[in-house]
């Protein structure tokens, strides 16, 4: 195990999709290698932050406001029609 291999396996390591042998090798390497420990921590943080940065749904607040206005307009338009009838 070396730093290059170790860092390319971070994703699989975190997803626990590696075989036990490789996980053991990575653990061994990271115990001895501070650089890879730090890199893994940074990698984890980056994933966490990028997940948090994702909006909870695909609709932006501006879009929600616009939709509300359209719905209100339609609602009042209907009311107008009712009043006319």
Footprint of Zn ion (CB under 5 A): 3, 6, 33, 35-36
**Rounded Cα–Cα distance for residues 62 and 55 (Å):** 13
Q: Position of tokens 């994703």?
A: 11
Task: Supply the minimum distance, in Å, between the C-beta of residue 36 and Zn ion.
Answer: 3
Task: Supply the minimum distance, in Å, between the C-beta of residue 45 and Zn ion.
Answer: 18
For Zn ion, which is the closer residue by CB, 9 or 36? 36
**Rounded Cα–Cα distance for residues 36 and 9 (Å):** 11
Task: Supply the minimum distance, in Å, between the C-beta of residue 27 and Zn ion.
Answer: 12
**Rounded Cα–Cα distance for residues 30 and 15 (Å):** 17
* Number of other CB atoms surrounding residue 36 within 10 Å: 22
For Zn ion, which is the closer residue by CB, 23 or 33? 33
């Amino acid at each position: 195990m070396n730093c290059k291999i170790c860092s390319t396996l971070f994703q699989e390591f975190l997803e626990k999709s590696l075989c036990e042998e490789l996980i053991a090798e990575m653990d061994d390497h990271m115990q001895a290698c501070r650089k890879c420990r730090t890199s893994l921590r940074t990698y984890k943080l980056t994933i966490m932050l990028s997940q948090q940065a994702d909006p909870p749904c695909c609709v932006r607040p501006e879009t929600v406001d616009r939709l509300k206005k359209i719905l209100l307009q339609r609602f009042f338009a209907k009311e107008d029609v009712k009043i006319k009838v």
